[in-house]
Amino acid sequence: MKVQELFDLTNRVALITGGGRGLGQQIAEVFAEMGCHLALCSRKKENCNNIAERLAHEYGVKAVGYALDVTCENQVEEVVNQIHEDFGKIDILVNNSGATWGAPVEEMSLEAWNKVMNVNVTGTFLVSKAVGKHMIERKYGKIINIASAAGLTVRPPEITNTIGYTTSKAAVIHFTKDLAIKWARHNIYVNAIAPGMFRTKMTKGTLDQKEQAVLETIPLKKIGDENMLKGAAIYLAARASDFVTGTVLSVDGGSTL
């Protein structure tokens, strides 16, 4: 098989949560470029619609936006079933929807903690469960959970003060490994990407205040740009990774070393 074929996603179908902006949008763009059809989901459907319309026009793929709250089980099941009906299958799932909350531990409210856990952990579980039912029937699937370098290491509060977020991403990493061994018998691959510090709407506040301090924790001394996650996402979605499951691929400039 030629190398290009190993990374080709022509006529695959990917469901990407949080696909309307940030890292989800970057992954959607590279998937479309490789020929993948897209179901982009977010609470803000308009964002997904805009990205879907642009990518469909630019790359000639089918791309549709859907409104989805990943913490609502009934809505997750309805939307996943609708996507399956609209596209006929779901080959790839990217669990990218995420939330964070910055506060000292002693001041963080239970409401804030629960919000982060519900989106990052429960949402990943609910969407994986719903999509997994279809993948099990077809005996094939690639699931990519977007974890975080923050789930692999710890930092003093002067760098990050988001214990709910870091804890949730550590949970996503363990969920990835456990689900991989549970569903390997169904030919479903489950892996995670652990991005380091990228320039997104979620990280803007931290970088505006502490960019130099953050750079000191990154051996490569740079912040991730709009292209640096794309290779990892393609690898884990394509046939190139057909002997890889339960792994966590850090894309972090060396910050977790």
Is 52's pLDDT higher than 80? yes
- Which band of pLDDT confidence, cut at 50, 70 and 90, is reported for residue 209? confident
Identify the residue whose tokens are 């550590």.
170
Is 213's pLDDT higher than 90? no
- Rounded-to-10 torsion of CA 161, 164, 166, 172: -170
CATH number for the domain running over 3-251 = 3.40.50.720
Task: Beginning with the edge strand found earlier in the chain, give each strand of the sheet holding 141-146 in spatial order.
Answer: 63-67, 37-42, 13-17, 92-95, 141-146, 188-195, 248-251
Asked if 248 and 194 count as a contact pair (C-beta separation under 8 A), the reply is yes
Asked if 164 and 113 count as a contact pair (C-beta separation under 8 A), the reply is yes
Whole-angstrom distance, CA of residue 55 vs CA of residue 32: 7
The pLDDT score that the predictor gives to residue 201 is 77
- Which band of pLDDT confidence, cut at 50, 70 and 90, is reported for residue 20? very high
For the record, the structure tokens of 225 come out as 């740009």
The pLDDT score that the predictor gives to residue 210 is 82
* From 59, 66, 165, 189, the catalytic residue: 165
Residue 189 falls in the annotated catalytic set = no
For the record, the structure tokens of 43 come out as 């609470």
- Which band of pLDDT confidence, cut at 50, 70 and 90, is reported for residue 164? very high
Other CB atoms within 10 A of residue 83 CB: 23
pLDDT one-digit tens code per residue, 214-242: 898 999 999 999 999 999 999 999 999 99
Sign for the pseudo-dihedral over CA of 134, 137, 142, 148:
positive
Identify the residue whose tokens are 């290491």.
153
Cα distances from 117 to residues 17, 105, 156, 158, 165, in angstroms, run 16, 15, 21, 23, 8
